[in-house]
Amino acid sequence: MIYLELFWSFFTIGLFGFGGGYSILSLIQHEVVDIQGWLTIADFTNIVAISQVTPGPIAINCATYVGYTATNSILGSAVATIAVSLPSLFIMVLISRFINAFRSNPYVAAALNTLKPAIIGLIASAALLLSNPSNFIDYISFIIFGTVFVAAYCKVNPIFLILLAGMAGLVIY
């Protein structure tokens, strides 16, 4: 039963996860934290951090991690990871087959045009949803947030920033 739920949740994430990268986060959070309760919001934030410093897309990393923690088995990991990749597999093959019809279709272009601002909204929602008391525990959290925000805006490497924030946490708390 849990395997079916895992499959369905991550299949949905794969199917509706437009825009790549962070735009998929609010969708993962909705399914995994809000609906299924497989992770707490703090756990979810930890995994996003782990995804940043390990290779591979966030959607795959989350699927593998949640699949394991929800079932305590490698099978759960495999089920969730396969489920999140299946929509990509079928849709990309479909696009490859009908590439000419797809490329010049005005409806596809129009849909993508309205999706773009919606995706900006989804990434903003992800940031807002994660701005809660379990991630911001005291004033130091806000200092770390501000520092990393400015540094990341100035294009400092995110992996470096995460490692630095981790060291700050270790020293301060």
Q: Could you give the angle at the alpha carbon of 47 between the alpha carbons of 70 and 20, nearest 5°?
A: 105
User: What CA–CA distance (Å, rounded) separates 152 from 168?
Assistant: 16
3 binds other proteins (CB under 8 A): no
120 binds other proteins (CB under 8 A): yes
- Residues of this chain, 57-96, that bind other proteins according to CB under 8 A: 57-61, 64-65, 68-69, 72, 74, 77-78, 81, 84-85, 87-89, 91-93, 95-96
Shortest spacing between CB 129 and other proteins, in angstroms: 6
Q: Which is nearer to other proteins, 5 or 141 (CB)?
A: 141
Instruction: Of 42, 27, 44, 39, give the one whose Cα is nearest residue 123.
Output: 27
Residue among 4, 8, 20, 101 that touches other proteins (CB under 8 A): 20
Contacts 24+ apart (CB under 8 A), 134-140: 134/40, 134/41, 134/42, 134/45, 135/41, 135/42, 135/45, 140/172, 140/173
Q: Which is nearer to other proteins, 1 or 113 (CB)?
A: 113
Establish how many alpha carbons lie within 13 A of residue 18's alpha carbon, considering only the half-sphere containing its beta carbon: 13
User: What CA–CA distance (Å, rounded) separates 151 from 161?
Assistant: 8
> What end-to-end distance do the CA atoms of the chain give, in Å?
41
Residue among 1, 55, 100, 104 that touches other proteins (CB under 8 A): 55
Shortest spacing between CB 4 and other proteins, in angstroms: 18
Q: Which is nearer to other proteins, 4 or 128 (CB)?
A: 128
Could you say which DSSP state residue 156 is in? -
Residue among 2, 3, 5, 42 that touches other proteins (CB under 8 A): 42
172 binds other proteins (CB under 8 A): yes
Shortest spacing between CB 152 and other proteins, in angstroms: 4
Residue among 2, 3, 36, 123 that touches other proteins (CB under 8 A): 123
